[in-house]
Amino acid sequence: MSARTAVQGVVRLAGPRLPLVSFLARLPAALCPTGTLLMVTALDGVGRGGVVASLLWGGQAVGGPLLGRLADRRGHRPVILAASLANALLTAALVVASVGGLAPAVQAGCAALAGFTVPQIGPLSRTRWIALAGGRRDGHELVGPALAFDAVVDETSFVAGPALVGVLAWAVHPAAGLVCAAVLMAVFGTVFALHPTAPAPAPAVAAAPAAAGRTAAAGRVLSGPLLVLIAVTVLQGVVFGAANTGVQYLARGDAGVGGLVWSAMGVSSAAAGVLLASFAERFDLTARLRTAVAAQAVLLLGLLPVGGVAGAAVAVGAVGFAVAPALIAVFGLVERVAPAGRMAEAMTLLGSGLIAGQGLAVTGVGPLVGAHGHLAAFALACAAGALALLLVLALVRLRRFPPARPAPAPALAAAAASS
């Protein structure tokens, strides 16, 4: 299957609107952490900026799986709609609290609540692709390309988000990025929630027979294999957080330069995701994950001799070629081990793993960078990559993650076709 044919097949699953809507709906998740840090730092100093941004990040990590569990139980539409509108209001409240010079505790509370209400559109979108593919006769062939396509959308959003924040902060106001995030969430979060592809509540899914090789629809979500995948995403988040901290140190605090350097990873990762769509089914997901994590561990070593922003751009760009294949494989394996009726919760648990890993890395490596420079951050990224490799080599095997054949979902497929 060529990359073009794979993309065409994926777009036919849900119609052309869903990819665009999901991109714009997930853009606030990329805007908010950087936008909060820039806004609060510009208005109240770097100390408070770091605290407020970390609380927003922590809120995202905690709230994501809870919203995912509610989405499984109540359906995507009411949960994502309520979360999107609440998040837009709370993000606006954070802007008002910061621009108005309100007490630090008020800013911190708004940030934590804003983070808590962010719907993890990326993982929830992957849930939809899996459900849609399960409703087609050729669905098994389309799951891999669909997840690859969604990874490209993810990477594009996380390249565009920080860049947009920097431009708005420079051209308009330090708070403009968060205002943009609130508007996008209110509008496109609502559209994503109400899109015809929104899965029904779990009881409707549970009524269908369980797919071969997959846990029962209402089964326990935190199985041993899923915990392994969560651990992989936490370590992947540490790689992101530590490497990004080193890049920002080399950029000497210039968020525009640091953002451009870091975007090299997103560009190469998106390119790898597009290429992967053309041969996604030739190798099992377990083999692809081991290969991608091994490649990343080797490529991360290229960060150690870096001494400037140009070298950092080349090094992180090289690492990016392994990122999308690894994440596509991780999220694809969730479909094999998570209960059919708790797929959104399982996907958001992995999303929270990425967020938590980044937050832990940024918090932990900060003092080390102050004492030892960017090399400390890059060394931590390399160590996390090596640990991830050991983990997947030891525990990610085909016998633990047997392929599953998705159960038919005719009603969902019909709804997608009508969109």
Which has the minimum average pLDDT: 188-192, 262-266, 319-323, 348-352? 262-266
Residue 417 confidence (pLDDT) above 50 = no
**pLDDT at residue number 202:** 63
Return the higher-pLDDT residue of 404 and 79: 79
Helices 139-171 and 309-337 cross at an angle (nearest 10°) of 140
Query: Minimal CA–CA distance to 178: which of 22, 366, 20, 49?
Result: 49
Tell me what the pLDDT averaged over the chain comes to.
Answer: 83
Q: How confident is the model at residue 98 (pLDDT cuts 50, 70, 90)?
A: very high
pTM of the model: 0.81
Q: Is the pLDDT of residue 413 over 60?
A: no
Q: Which residues contact 312 (CB under 8 A, 6 or more apart)?
A: 246, 247, 250, 261, 303, 306
Q: How much is the pLDDT for 153?
A: 84
Q: Which of 92-106, 162-176, 330-344 has the highest mean pLDDT?
A: 92-106
Q: What is the mean pLDDT of residues 99-118?
A: 94
52 near 174, Cβ under 8 Å?
Answer: no
The proportion of the chain whose per-residue pLDDT surpasses 70, expressed as a percent, equals 84
Residue extents of the structural domains in the chain? 17-404
Q: What is the pLDDT of residue 23?
A: 92
Q: HEC states along the chain?
A: CCHHHHHHHHHHHHCCHHHHHHHHHHHHHHHHHHHHHHHHHHHHCHHHHHHHHHHHHHHHHHHHHHHHHHHHHHCHHHHHHHHHHHHHHHHHHHHHHHHCCCCHHHHHHHHHHHHHCCCCHHHHHHHHHHHHHHCCCCHHHHHHHHHHHHHHHHHHHHHHHHHHHHHHHHHCCCCHHHHHHHHHHHHHHHHHHHCCCCCCCHHHHHCCCCCCCCCCCCCCCCCHHHHHHHHHHHHHHHHHHHHHHHHHHHCCCCHHHHHHHHHHHHHHHHHHHHHHCCCHHHCCHHHHHHHHHHHHHHHHHHHCCCCCHHHHHHHHHHHHHHHHHHHHHHHHHHHHHCCHHHHHHHHHHHHHHHHHHHHHHHHHHHHHHHHHCHHHHHHHHHHHHHHHHHHHHHHCCCCCCCCCCCCCCHHHHHHHHHC
Higher pLDDT, 296 or 346: 296
| 336 vs 170: which has the higher pLDDT | 336
Is residue 2 very low, low, confident or very high in pLDDT (cuts 50, 70, 90)?
Answer: low
d(CA 115, CA 98): 16
- Could you tell me which CATH class the domain 17-404 is placed in? mainly alpha
Per mean pLDDT, which range of 137-141, 204-208, 227-231 is the poorest? 204-208
User: What's the whole-number mean pLDDT along residues 56-70?
Assistant: 91
Neighbour tally for 154: CB within 10 Å: 29
